[in-house]
Amino acid sequence: MKFSLEWLKDYLDTEASVTEIAAKLNAIGHEVEGIEDPAEKLAGFRVAKVLTAEKHPDADKLQVLSIDTGEGDPLTVVCGAPNARAGMKGVLGLPGAVVPANGMELRKSAIRGVESNGMMCSVRELELGDAHEGIIELPDDAPVGESFAQYQGTSPVFDVAITPNRPDCMGVMGIARDLAAAGLGTFKPVEVPEIGGEDPCPVAIRTDDPEGCPAFYGRVIRGIDNTRASPEWMQRRLIAAGQRPISAVVDCTNYLMLACGRPAHVYDVAKLSGPVTARRAQDGETMEALNEKTYTLDDTMTVIADDSGVHDIGGIMGGEHSGATEATTDVLLEIAYFDPEAIGVTGRKLGLASDARTRFERGVDPAFLDDGLALLTELIMQSCGGSPSEVARAGSPPSEAQVIDFDPALTRNLGGIDVPESEQRRILEALDFAVAEDWKVTVPLRRHDVEGAADLVEEVVRIHGLDQVESVPLPRAEGVAKSTASPDQVMERKLRRAAAARGLNEAVTWSFLPQGEADIFAAEGEPLWVLENPISEDLKAMRPSLIPGLLSAAKRNADRGADASRLFEIGRRYFSGKDGASDEKPTLGIVLAGERSERSWQGGKARGFDAYDAKAEAMALLEAAGAPVDNLMVMGEAGEQFHPGQSATLRLGPKKVLARFGALHPATLKAFDLDGPVVAVEIFLDAVPVKNASKGFARPDYTPPALQPVRRDFAFLVDQKLAAGDLIRAVRGADKANIVGARVFDVFAGQGVPEGKKSVAVEVVLQPGEKSYTDQDLKAISDKVVAAAAKQGAELRG
């Protein structure tokens, strides 16, 4: 939010400097993101008088002006503005000045053979408005030679980030109240005029949606002149706040919103038909908004309408059809209170953002309807004239103030700072809280963020000074501190290190997904967890898998020219259980996309990732997590999202699934607009057995075997459908005391091998203990290996 120092001083009587104000704003929780001094942009521009204006000797549309700058001899300036004439006063940019609108540095130059010593400027060129038909015309009493910035009365502009919980500070008046409470001056509340209506309001007003719009106030002003420009002081403040002056009526509504945090709207009475009503929209109703876009509405949305249709998406944006124009003579002013939650839902559904929505969604002051209407009426009458009607009121806003039992001792207990009770009372009363003798505190209706005693402590500490809260270290017992990490946390840390060590890059993606993407990865029997009040309609489903977010990240990488993506993420999957219960499960997700290896003169074409790469990552990380990888079974397909025949699950027994891996199905890749192949892994950390932490602090001594290992090779004939993993598991279990490793090093099918069979060669690693193996020992172990393999249908090749 931007506002000028000049504007702030309307509500704050202070002699503090810009630096002091910025420091205090930061101290009380309103972060100053920047300070801009418009005078710096107008350096080199001054008030000047045109002495003579003659036609350019070599150009029909140019004039040669003689300019009095207030210093020395007149300067010659070539100008093309149609309103340039002798005797007028305007703004001259001298050589060296930089034009704010385009960044052009002015220099002496010859224009069609005539030397020009600067430029007479228009409103647009100095970023003071949109007018550019001619140069600025200043009043006759403008002092020639004075700096234009000084003459204009420019004021430093603060750019402040207002946190979402402080809608009361979405207006300059609210910020002034906070600064005054912090001791930086005296708060000057807005003076609300008493405006009596001449006649009853000629437009009937009602609210048929008391939930979405509890209160709707309005009045008509007849006989306005909207061809006038809004006052110069108002335009100056709006421009400083980043608002473009549009018309006098619209400028008045914007001014009220930025000054007091109270959005309002104005309708052209001539374009209305029948009573103006706050109601629910009908499914399929449409409205062309002021941003020139047409929106289709549904029956959950509050609108302002008449007999002819919808004129306003309530609290968000008005319609193009009924807005005030220069031809408007009678206007209906709307001041309403809309339900914040309903505003948020409507805005997200329509994808429509506005300054009004930002304020209504966070919560405006429900007690400011009459005052806001009176202020807006006065602003419009000052700018455009006219005669007001009486106020018409429909419904009533929330009016029951919250009362909190407050104990001043909580400030010490919760805030860690001693603040005298008298000072606590002063702070709360300066912030407009009513504090009774027994410390029952009545909360202003505008303070939607204050719900309990802890919030009052925050207000006291914030204004008293967060910098006065002493830093106190936590107590620590003697000796070496014990680990505070749970086994699950230790596992996740190990997995992060292991994944990074294997060349994977960690990603952090949204926990929310578009519902269409979430549906693709929804598990059968586990319904999606869909939010009722999402931050966006595109992010309304909690993710049932980590893979969609990683696929989107891989897509963004590919779009930016990345040859490969090796991504992993440790996070949570979310499910909506029975009876409204919800569940979340820790998971590690991996996506490998693009080129596994680049093309080269040795390897030929680039090679992509395959299911074996996914399995290798799954096995390595499961081992890092402490899972008994030697006992894992490779079973079945990984799900509809994966390619059949190129995916599987890793299980401890038929029912306990620890992970799934494999190549993703082409339909899945198409849904995410990815070119394949792409492989993925999901490790379900909640299913991984967690070993008990060691009771000791030191690792056991490393004692390598005294004797070298012995390797023996076996070649088995097995059924073509037998998984090599099942054979390896059987071989390793044949003699656990001696066999420390087994791996497949060759698979062959063809000549010499019966049809329907394959030859699998296995290397078995034996580790002797205290003495070397004898021939009899080796034969006994070999017999056990052959017997174990036979149980899997394997026979030793001759």
State percent of the chain over pLDDT 70.
98
Q: What is the CA radius of gyration of the chain?
A: 38
Give the model's pLDDT for residue 533: 81
Q: Region 29-45: what's the mean pLDDT?
A: 88
Q: What span, in angstroms and rounded, lies between the C-alpha atoms of 397 and 257?
A: 18
How much is the mean pLDDT over the chain?
A: 91
- Known binding positions for Mg(2+): 449, 455, 458-459
Residues annotated in the binding site, as ranges? 449, 455, 458-459
The domain made up of 2-37+156-187 has a fold known as: Phenylalanyl-tRNA Synthetase; Chain B, domain 1 (3.30.56)
Rounded mean pLDDT, 736-748? 92
pTM: 0.68
Per-residue pLDDT for 694 more than 70? no
Contacts of 227-236 with CB under 8 Å at 24 or more apart are 227/326, 228/383, 228/384, 230/255, 230/383, 231/382, 231/383, 234/379, 234/383, 235/128, 235/129, 236/4, 236/6, 236/128, 236/152, 236/153, 236/154
Tell me the CATH number of domain 205-395, given options 3.50.40.10, 3.40.1160.10, 3.40.50.970, 3.40.50.2300: 3.50.40.10
CATH architecture for segment(s) 40-152: Beta Barrel (2.40)
Q: What are the tens digits of pLDDT across the range 470-494?
A: 888 888 778 877 778 888 899 999 9
697 pLDDT higher than 60: no
Query: In the CATH hierarchy, which fold is given to the domain comprising 487-687?
Result: BirA Bifunctional Protein; domain 2 (3.30.930)
Beta-ladder partners of 334: 218, 265
Same fold across 2-37+156-187 and 710-796: no
Convert 470-505 to b/e letters by CB count within 10 Å (16 or more is b): eeeeeeeeeeeeeeeeeeeebbbeebbebbeeeebe
Tokens of 559: 């779009």
SS3 48: strand
* pLDDT for the residue 204: 95
Tell me if 384 sits within 8 A of 228, measured CB to CB. yes
State how beta strands 205-207 and 582-597 pair: unpaired
Report how far residue 17's alpha carbon sits from residue 2's, in angstroms, rounded to the nearest whole number: 17
Helix ranges, 583-649 (H)? 611-624
710-796 fold = Alpha-Beta Plaits (3.30.70)
- CA atoms of 625 and 689, how far apart (whole Å): 9
Q: How far apart are CA 390 and CA 377, in angstroms?
A: 11
- CATH class of the domain at 403-468: alpha beta
* 766 bridge partner residues: 710, 739
For the chain, the domains span 2-37+156-187, 40-152, 205-395, 403-468, 487-687, 710-796
Secondary structure (3-state) at 623: helix
pLDDT at 692: 56
- Asked if pLDDT for residue 525 goes beyond 80, the answer is no
Q: How far apart are the first and last CA of the chain?
A: 85
Mean pLDDT of 343-348: 92
- Contact by Cβ (8 Å): 69, 124: no
pLDDT at 579: 62
